[in-house]
């Protein structure tokens, strides 16, 4: 067994510097990720439980890092390190297994019900930089030798089953990204095949908790309502003041797993994750309640009046950090509620919006999508670019100052879906007072739409009209 000092000096240090290790031994990959922490945070619509749950999740993340630190692994020794997930190379498989057990216990003690998916996988050091395995040269590219010939050649990007990949082609595919792809698969399998879950029996005649509506109540709260112990623990951690009208912002690096699987070395993997996660965390405004931070994503909740501005400023901060050319598509989802509270519906809307962008994102673009709970989810509307998001914010400020009627263009969204928005807009605008028409003309000039408004203008106008009345 390699000692920790020798491991850092001869294996981990060279790998993180982009060098080839001199030692040829076995190391263990350790990965851990909290399972769906936002589901735990938004179990109910009570603000004190939401804020308290986010604090407990943050403290659970601190426990993750402290467990590895107690064995001599500093933050710089880890491949990636966020409050919700960790990936590290370990010198001893027994130590890595002990980490997995300690982390599962620590997270359960802190959050009561949140589970953790962990992976411990040992492999020789050369496979970290040269790929997981090597097929014999006599097999690669020889038709009829095995049943997987077409799959092998497709893996190397070859179209002919009789073509033998050259040394350069093999080297392009055999690198640390194969290890990352394996870890992603093992983590997904660990989460999906979990057999031990926190279990709270609720018989048909048991009174359920009035907050989560899931677990049996254990006692009465101050208002005389039955509540379970998990929800009570959340309330005890509440610190921040209540947000009656709120917006949830979810920023995510789209397709990060695929980008990480293209990293050829542990050093490039660590560099990408470290810079991206640090940039995301610094982009979050200080006047918001951060909910969770995962590898390549961050979510926070803010007042409805500042949520859009906080998302736009965060995207600007990220793009400026990368010199306007981000290494990956960055998308922000902003979900608003039509009334106070209703935090769970906001979270579901933000999740749906993020999933939609994730499926439709193309290229290394910066996008922002805004949705309001209670309105139909338009799956044909593309997210806004960062420039359009700035124009959207400027237009909202302009129309709020104009004191417009609340029923302005009530059917614009429906007409937009039918493809008749231009005719509808022209007709309805002609009936408006002269002052309102002048305001709309100023809006068109701000957005630089040209002489004829198009579908993109109507999509932005429809979104803006839904937001101008959300002020606090």
Domain residue ranges of the chain, discontinuous segments joined by +: 4-129+174-202, 243-377, 393-472
Confidence of residue 280 (pLDDT cuts 50, 70, 90): very high
Give the integer Cα–Cα distance in Å for 148 and 140: 10
With contact defined as beta carbons under 8 Å apart, do 31 and 184 qualify? no
Identify the weakest region by mean pLDDT among 187-191, 200-204, 429-433: 200-204
pLDDT on residue 76: 93
pLDDT at 202: 61
Residue-level pLDDT at 382: 85
Of all residues in the chain, the percent with pLDDT exceeding 90 is: 49
**Could you check whether 4-129+174-202 and 243-377 share the same CATH topology?**
yes
Q: Does the structure show a pLDDT above 90 at 399?
A: no
Structure tokens at 127: 């496979």
458, 416 contact by CB (below 8 A): yes
Name the nearest CA neighbour of 36 among 135, 141, 107. 107
- At residue 294 the predicted structure's pLDDT band, cuts being 50, 70 and 90, is very high
- How many other C-beta atoms can be found within 10 angstroms of the C-beta atom of residue 290? 17
Least confident of 8-22, 55-69, 155-169, 429-443: 155-169
- The predicted pLDDT at position 342 comes to 83
For helices 455-467 and 421-430, angle between their N-to-C axes, nearest 10 degrees: 60
pTM: 0.88
Question: Bigger pLDDT: 134 or 298?
Answer: 298
In this predicted structure, the answer to whether residue 377 has a pLDDT above a threshold of 70 is yes
Q: What value does the mean pLDDT take over residues 427-452?
A: 79
Are the C-beta atoms of 388 and 370 separated by less than 8 Å? no
User: CATH says 243-377 is which class?
Assistant: alpha beta
Write out the CATH class of domain 4-129+174-202. alpha beta
Better-scored residue on pLDDT, 176 or 406: 176
Averaged pLDDT score across all residues of the chain: 86
């Amino acid at each position: 067994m390699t000692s920790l000092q020798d491991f850092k000096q001869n294996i981990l240090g060279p790998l993180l510097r982009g060098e080839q290790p001199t030692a040829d031994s076995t190391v263990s990959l350790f990965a851990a990720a909290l399972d769906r922490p936002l589901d735990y945070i938004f179990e109910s619509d009570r603000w004190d439980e939401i804020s308290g749950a986010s604090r407990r999740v943050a403290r659970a993340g601190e426990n993750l890092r402290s467990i590895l630190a107690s064995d001599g692994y500093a933050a710089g020794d880890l491949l990636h390190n966020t409050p919700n997930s960790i990936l590290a190379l370990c010198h001893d498989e027994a130590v890595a297994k002990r980490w997995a057990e300690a982390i599962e216990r620590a997270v359960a003690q802190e959050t009561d019900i949140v589970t953790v998916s962990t992976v411990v996988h040992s492999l020789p050091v050369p496979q970290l930089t040269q790929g997981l395995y090597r097929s014999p040269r006599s097999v690669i590219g020889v038709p009829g030798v095995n049943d997987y010939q077409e799959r092998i050649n497709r893996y190397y990007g070859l179209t002919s089953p009789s073509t033998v990949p050259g040394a350069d082609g093999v080297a392009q595919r055999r690198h640390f990204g194969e290890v990352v792809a394996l870890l992603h698969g093992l983590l997904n399998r660990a989460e999906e095949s979990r057999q031990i879950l926190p279990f709270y029996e609720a018989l048909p005649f048991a009174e359920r908790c009035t907050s989560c509506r899931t677990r049996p109540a254990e006692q009465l709260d101050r208002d005389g309502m039955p509540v379970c112990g998990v929800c009570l623990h959340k309330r005890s951690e509440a610190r921040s003041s209540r947000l009656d009208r709120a917006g949830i912002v979810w920023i995510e690096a789209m397709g990060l797993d695929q980008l990480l699987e293209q990293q050829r070395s542990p050093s490039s993997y660590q560099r990408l994750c470290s810079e991206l996660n640090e940039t995301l965390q610094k982009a979050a405004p200080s006047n918001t309640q951060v909910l969770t931070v995962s590898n390549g994503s961050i979510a926070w909740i803010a007042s409805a009046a500042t949520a859009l501005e906080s998302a736009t400023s965060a995207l600007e901060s990220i793009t400026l950090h990368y010199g306007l050319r981000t290494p990956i598509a960055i998308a922000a989802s902003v979900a608003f509620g039509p009334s106070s509270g209703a935090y769970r519906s906001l979270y579901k809307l933000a999740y749906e919006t993020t999933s939609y962008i994730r499926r439709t994102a193309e290229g290394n673009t910066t996008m922002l999508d805004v949705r309001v709970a209670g309105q139909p989810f338009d799956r044909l509307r593309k997210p806004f670019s960062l420039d359009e998001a700035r124009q959207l914010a400027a237009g909202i400020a302009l129309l709020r100052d104009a004191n417009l009627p609340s029923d302005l263009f009530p059917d614009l969204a429906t007409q937009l879906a039918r493809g008749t928005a231009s005719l509808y807009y022209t007709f309805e605008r002609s009936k408006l007072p002269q002052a309102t028409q002048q305001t709309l003309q100023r809006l068109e000039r701000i957005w630089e739409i040209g002489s004829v408004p198009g579908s993109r203008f109507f999509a932005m106008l429809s979104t803006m009209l839904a937001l101008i009345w959300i002020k606090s």
